[in-house]
Structure formats: structure tokens, C-alpha cells
Amino acid sequence: MQARFHDAWAKLPASLQSALEPIMSANDFPAMLTADQVKAVKSNSGLDDDALAFALLPLAASCALTPVSNFKVGAIACGISGNLYFGANMEFSGTPLQQTIHAEQCAVTHAWLHNEASLVSITVNYTPCGHCRQFMNELNSGTDLHIHLPNRPASTLGQYLPDAFGPKDLNITTLLMDPVDHSYTLSNADDLTQAALEGANHSHAPYSNSHSGVAVETAEGIIYTGRYAENAAFNPSLPPLQAALIMANMSGKDYLPIRRAVLVEGQHSMLSQWNATQATLAALGCSDVKRVTF
């Protein structure tokens, strides 16, 4: 089992430990449970869907990276497939706080990058901030998304974000987690650049049409890909680098050091991710960063 889970694991009921052990004992546990695994864990532990999501929150929070706040938040996103995706807040020393990833953003993006079609609910150990409520309002689940918090009745996103401003106000019909393929191509692209291009082709940027993707390669040679996720309110948009870092962190392997990275974006796009990507990666100790345009 990955060392980051040890403390939270020790506090789980024995019945849940027994149910989860075959899944979480693997060092490559990807911080998610498939629908079949969820079914098995519920059967073996006696927990229902809601109780299981709450019970998993301490494990999700164990994935948090909090050098600034030392405040760990966990989230569990339930996909329409029945899969459960862990999420946790992520902070990066030496970067502006705007580069921080919130737990809800992490769980949502984790599900999106696994090509989950839609989310049914998200369970969090602390109430979602306004930033996250707006971020989740971009989802194709809309305001019907169920929000579960400890010791509170389940509510919908619409109840947490009344009179919401979102994609429909701007006549946007393609929502976050809807399938898209922008079909950009590059010639003579290496594996890392091709991975970043794949991210750009599935990115969500209906407001600026500035599609972009990032791929990072770790010292172990593992490649993680991220996609840009734009938001109707603009500021809650998630950069593609952050999406790649989410996948690297959730994978359970050390995501630092990053050996090299590639940003792929449009040459004539209205917006560029280059400066922020380069600066954040420099703070993480990666200087081998390349920008490729289509």
C-alpha cells in the first residue's frame, strides 16, 4: 500500500479495511474504484453508496499536497458509470495561490481525464467554496449534481449556488465532460508532444476557443496528460498543467521531479497558457519545457 494512505487506513473500521485491502494493497492503486470494485466493497463492508463515499474521504484527503496551508481536503466524485474518483487539494510552493487546485476540482478533473461521461454526486469533507461551486457549474450534470457533506442533508449544486451564472447564460451547449474531439494534428510529434496534443483535442474552451493540452514526463519516464477546462466565469478555469499534475499525483507515484514537459496550443489562439505553464514548472524544478503550436 502507498505510504500516504497508512495513517488514514489505520483509522478505518476493520470491515472496510478487509473489503478495500485487495484493491488498495497495490502500489499502483490509481486513487479510484471501478464500479465493480465499488459493488464488491459495498457487499463486503455492508456500507451503502453514501456511507462508502464518506468513509473514503480520509483516504482521499491523504492525497493532498499542502505545503502552504497544511489544510487537507478530500473529495469523492461518483461518475454515472458507478466509478468513484478521489480528489484532494494541491498547493505548490513558490507559485501564486491562483495555481492551487481545490479538492473538488481535482476529483472532477480526475473523473474527466478518465473519460467519465457525467457525474452523479460529489462528497467532500468541507463545504465547497464559491470558486468550486462555480467550477462545478460548468459540468454537464449542471445544478442537479448532488453535494454530500458530513452531518448535513444531501443537497444539489443548485441549492449551494442559487441564481447561478453558467454556460447557458452565454448560449454554450457543449459542457464540461461532454465528449469532444477538436481534431488538431501535428506532424513528426514525439510521444510527449502527441500526448499533449491529445489533451488539447479533448480540452474544454468554448468561450475563447483557445484549446490546449500539457504533457509532463517524470524522472521514471511516465507521461501524464492534462486538458484545459474553461469556465463561464473565467477565473475558475483550470489550466492544462494543473490537470496533468492531478493525474500525476493521483497515480500514486512520485510526480516530482518532472524531467520535461510540453504545452500544445493554437498559434493564433486568443489566450496562451505558456507563461503560467513555464513559471509553475520552473517553481517545481523543471526547466525543460517546450511550446508546440498547431
Q: What whole-number distance in Å separates Cα of residue 74 and Cα of residue 51?
A: 15
For strands 84-88 and 74-79, give the pairing: antiparallel
Is residue 230 part of the annotated active site? The answer reads no
Pairs from 157-161 (Cβ < 8 Å, separation ≥ 24) = 157/133, 160/128, 160/133, 161/133, 161/134, 161/137
Is omega for the bond preceding 58 within 30 degrees of 0, making it cis? no
- Residue from 21, 91, 104, 220 carrying the catalytic annotation: 104
Q: What whole-number distance in Å separates Cα of residue 146 and Cα of residue 53?
A: 13
The cell for 223 is 507521461
Query: In sequence order, which residues have a C-beta less than 8 Å from that of residue 221 and are 6 or more positions away?
Result: 259
Q: 212 in helix, strand or coil?
A: strand
The cell for 225 is 496528460
Q: 46 — alpha (psi -120 to 50), left (phi > 0) or beta?
A: left
Q: 163 in helix, strand or coil?
A: coil
Residues known to be catalytic: 104
